[in-house]
């Protein structure tokens, strides 16, 4: 074998070993090696007795809700004269109160108070919502005061406020309706520290015994997720309720855009509530108006 042939044979052998890995990388059986393994995402939503069929329907409804909101947002951008995003607030348990807030105002510790209560938060909520491009109306009825005047009891609250809400919804349309409550849970369940600031945690309650259940849940799920993106774990999740000894509707059958928010608990301070209300306003804007990261 001449020297030239030896060189040609050596060069061919080197070329073969160089090209072989490239060819092997294109073969189908090797594709999986380049696919990253991702961990499943944390679920923020808490479902009570939801089966697979219901879960699938809820996911579909959430996508429909997001698509509808996206179209409305694009329409708003192209047509600035269009009505702004409108929220209606109501307080079915209007005299629920926060012990630190009542104590600061009157020196007494109480979880229900005729003067210092959750209804007093309406102006703070309207202010924070306005800063996020949200127009806020209030169903300004002191339900618990009216119940006492008419000799009715606490369990009558939802039925009592229903005609007031029904009338308002016939007169005006809203993009979101929020019934605000104070949870009875203690501080360890309703308080969160994030970046050296304390917040009142929220929970969103959905009645599961009416036709709008899937829609209400989709709105609640979107808001809960948006809040947790702003302040992790500030939302305790979405809780669906049905069965004995619960309302099962919470008047959410009147409109598919209605949710019930448990805003903090009996031990939360005014400062903690204020910070959380600011997060709710940002989350509504993020989830239902801009749809963008803030």
DSSP secondary structure letters along 39-50 = PPPPP--B-SS-
Q: How many Å apart are CA 117 and CA 145, to the nearest integer?
A: 12
Per-residue pLDDT, averaged over 209-220, amounts to 95
Q: How many Å apart are CA 68 and CA 66, to the nearest integer?
A: 5
Q: Where are the beta strands (DSSP E) in the chain?
A: 85-90, 134-138, 176-183, 191-194, 197-200, 202-207, 235-241, 258-265
- Whether the predicted pLDDT of 221 surpasses 90: yes
Would you say 289 and 73 are in contact if contact means Cβ atoms under 8 Å apart? yes
Label residue 83 by pLDDT band (50, 70, 90). confident
Would you say 260 and 250 are in contact if contact means Cβ atoms under 8 Å apart? yes
Pairing of strands 176-183, 197-200: unpaired
Backbone dihedral region of 245: left (phi > 0), alpha (psi from -120 to 50 degrees) or beta? left
Taking the CB of residue 248, how many other CB atoms lie within 10 A of it? 18
Query: Given this model, what pLDDT does residue 106 score?
Result: 94
Label residue 82 by pLDDT band (50, 70, 90). low
| Minimum mean pLDDT range among 41-55, 139-153, 230-244 | 41-55
Helix, strand or coil, per DSSP, at residue 148: helix
Query: Given this model, what pLDDT does residue 290 score?
Result: 82
Query: Given this model, what pLDDT does residue 73 score?
Result: 47
pTM comes to: 0.74
Per-residue pLDDT, averaged over 122-136, amounts to 97
Label residue 243 by pLDDT band (50, 70, 90). confident
Per-residue pLDDT, averaged over 251-278, amounts to 98
Most confident of 7-21, 25-39, 83-97, 236-250: 83-97
47 or 15, higher pLDDT: 15
226 or 22, higher pLDDT: 226
Per-residue pLDDT, averaged over 46-60, amounts to 50
Label residue 182 by pLDDT band (50, 70, 90). very high
Percent of the chain with pLDDT over 70: 71
Percent of the chain with pLDDT over 90: 67
| Minimum mean pLDDT range among 67-71, 136-140, 217-221 | 67-71
């Amino acid at each position: 074998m001449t020297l030239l042939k030896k060189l040609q044979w050596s060069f061919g052998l080197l070329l073969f070993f160089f090209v072989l890995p490239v060819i092997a990388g294109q073969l189908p059986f090797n594709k999986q090696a380049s696919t990253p393994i991702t961990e499943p995402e944390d679920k923020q939503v808490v479902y009570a007795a939801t089966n697979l069929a219901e879960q699938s329907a809820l996911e579909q409804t959430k996508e429909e809700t997001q698509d509808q909101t996206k179209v409305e947002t694009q329409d708003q951008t192209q047509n600035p004269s269009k009505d702004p995003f409108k929220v209606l607030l109501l307080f079915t348990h209007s005299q629920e109160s926060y012990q630190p807030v009542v104590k600061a105002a009157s020196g007494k510790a109480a979880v229900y108070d005729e003067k210092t209560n959750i209804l007093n938060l309406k102006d703070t909520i309207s202010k924070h919502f306005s800063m996020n491009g949200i127009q806020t109306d209030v169903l300004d009825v002191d339900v618990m005061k009216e119940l006492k005047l008419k000799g009715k009891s606490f369990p009558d609250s939802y039925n009592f406020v229903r005609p007031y809400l029904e009338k308002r919804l016939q007169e005006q349309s809203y993009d979101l309706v929020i019934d605000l409550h104070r949870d009875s849970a203690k501080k360890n369940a309703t308080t969160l520290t994030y970046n050296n600031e304390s917040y009142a945690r929220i929970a969103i309650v959905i009645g599961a015994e009416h036709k709008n259940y899937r829609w209400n849940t989709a709105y609640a799920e979107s808001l809960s997720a948006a809040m947790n993106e702003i302040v992790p774990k500030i939302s305790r999740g979405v809780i669906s309720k049905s069965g004995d000894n619960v309302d099962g509707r919470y008047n959410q059958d009147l409109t598919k855009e209605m949710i019930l928010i448990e805003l903090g608990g009996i031990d939360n301070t005014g400062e903690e509530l204020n910070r959380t209300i600011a997060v709710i306003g940002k989350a509504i804007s993020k989830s239902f108006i801009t749809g963008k990261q803030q």
